Amino acid sequence: MPPPRGAEDFDPGLARERTRLAWTRTAIAFAAVGAAVLKTHLVAGLTVLGLAGIVWGLRQLFRDRAVSGSQRARLLGVTLTVVAVALVALVLSFVGHSR
Amino acid sequence: MATADHSGDPGMAAEAEGAPVQETEPDARYTFANERTFLAWTRTALAFILAGLGIVQLLPPFPGVPWGRHLLGVPLIAIGAAIAVVGYWQWEGNQKALRRGEPIRRSSLPRLLAAAIAALAIVTAVVLLLSAMH
């Protein structure tokens, strides 16, 4: 099979676009969690909304790097971010108070 | 996708002799598909976290069951974190299998998801019944 350089030739054009849209949906999901956290804790909510912005930015990066090693780092980063958001949500469940 | 046919596969033969398995860059479409699957599980994880947070923070307390919201919300958030981590493991495993031309292993996430939803449904029913009896 040809090296990564020729990968673009295999792409019928839609796989790339579908993946970009998947990143967009994921960023929107992050923003939804951010909005929910915002209702309880201003700083934590703004932080999660900021993370949504970063995920939105990652949407563009894969354009050049989909088949390189950085893909792994980005996906691992997203995973650890979700775990961190879950921990924040757990803390807020016990100490947070709705306004 | 990848087939289980290893006859004449140089990678498998090399592995049998102790040499490193031969890896090649998979078709970009498979790499993208694997990434989208990971992202879909990530959104599922975020939905669980959002649901847990919503139950604990937005719902009024169940009458007579003051701990009811936490009993439902905390597991939802924990399951969300677990789905995110398992989703990443599977992305990694799938990518490795694609690179080696090996078959994709069956995902354990559907079973985890089904078990979690069933358990939560039972707990929800119990909390609602306890609240109704109050």
ipTM score of complex: 0.81
- Closest residue on chain A to B87 (Cα): A79
* pLDDT tens-digit map of A16-40: 888 889 999 999 999 999 999 998 8
Other beta carbons less than 10 A from residue B31's beta carbon: 25
Angstrom distance (rounded) from CA A79 to CA A35:
20
How many C-beta atoms lie closer than 10 Å to residue B62's C-beta?
18
Distance (Å) from the alpha carbon of A74 to chain B's nearest alpha carbon:
11
- Residue A62's pLDDT is 58
The answer to whether position B35 is within a domain reads: yes
Q: Which residue of A has its CA nearest to B86?
A: A79
CB contact under 8 A, B57 and A98: yes
- Which structural domain, as residue segments, surrounds residue B54? 21-133
Q: What percent of chain B has pLDDT over 90?
A: 69
Q: What one-letter code names the amino acid at B121? A: A
Nearest to B39 among A11, A23, A37 (CB): A23
Q: Which pLDDT does position B18 carry in this prediction?
A: 61
**Is B15 a domain residue?**
no
pTM: 0.82
* The pLDDT value given to residue B89: 96
B31 is a domain residue: yes
Closest-CA residue of chain B to A96: B57
Alpha carbon B74 to its chain centroid, in Å, reads 17
Q: How many CB pairs under 8 A join A and B?
A: 131
Residues of chain A under the 50 pLDDT cut: 2, 66, 98-99
- Looking at residue A63, its pLDDT comes to 55
Beta carbons of A7 and B28 less than 8 angstroms apart:
yes
Report the domain count for chain B. 1
Q: What local confidence, expressed as pLDDT, does residue B10 receive? A: 46
Q: Does residue B34 lie in a domain region?
A: yes
> Coil, helix or strand for B39?
helix
- Residue-wise pLDDT for B13-72, tens only, equals 444 556 677 888 888 888 889 999 999 999 999 999 999 999 998 889 999 899 999 999
Burial group, residue A70, by CB count within 10 angstroms (0-12, 13-18, 19+): middle
CB distance B100 to B49 below 8 Å: no
Determine, yes or no, domain membership for B85.
yes
